[in-house]
Chain A
């Protein structure tokens, strides 16, 4: 069974631009969670989607948003990019209805110049 895939793997943007990252969960998984990893803050939870609805949200500004499609694929968007948004963005999928294990993708490395 294929794992979680994320595209693109690497991205360079400039301040003020916006970016959209994509995550395809493991087949059959209905929950997708997003995390940001930076050297200073470590791994931080952004949000979680289940059946196209946001179920949980972390403590990030409104510039960070996401959505989930009917096929469980998810996208996250960051508008008005800042230098501090440079990070590894990870998504994780799980079957979704409770205490299932989350499986992570390889991440998208975003560099904001």
Chain B
């Protein structure tokens, strides 16, 4: 089973920041938080990942709480093309035999509206 809980759906106005929350209260010390998104019927697209520090790349920012039990993906200026299902995944770290296995939950459907 997925170790994350996400809201089923969210709306965001075009041009505004989209903040997608994720709870992972049972996360272990060596587990990373990954975010992917899937635009209808396409393969999932990697967005960002982190262990305990906040991370930023050209697509998004990832804010992880100090206790690591939750995180937020931030799309700073959402566009219509950001409409997708967003998956938050907790993934075991290096040294585990399960590093190649991503366990997807149901994700959050983000609808960006004009």
**Chain A contacts to B: CB under 8 angstroms:** 4, 31, 33, 35, 42-45, 48, 50, 55-56, 58, 88, 90, 92, 94, 96, 98-99, 101-107, 109
Contact = CB atoms under 8 A, between A and B. Distances in A.
Contact of B91 (A43, A50, A99, A104): A99
A109 B41 CA distance: 9
A50 B100 contact: yes
Interface residues of B, number: 25
Contacts of A105: 43
Q: Main secondary structure on chain B at its contact with chain A?
A: loop
A107 B38 CA distance: 12
A107 B94 contact: no
Contact of A106 (B43, B49, B87, B93): B43
Nearest to A46: B101
B97 A55 contact: yes
Contact of A55 (B45, B93, B100): B100
B40 to A, nearest CB: 11
A98 B99 contact: yes
A13 to B, nearest CB: 19
Contact of B98 (A42, A56, A101, A106): A56
B32 A99 contact: yes
Interface string B77-110: 0000000000100010111011111111110000
A90 B103 contact: no
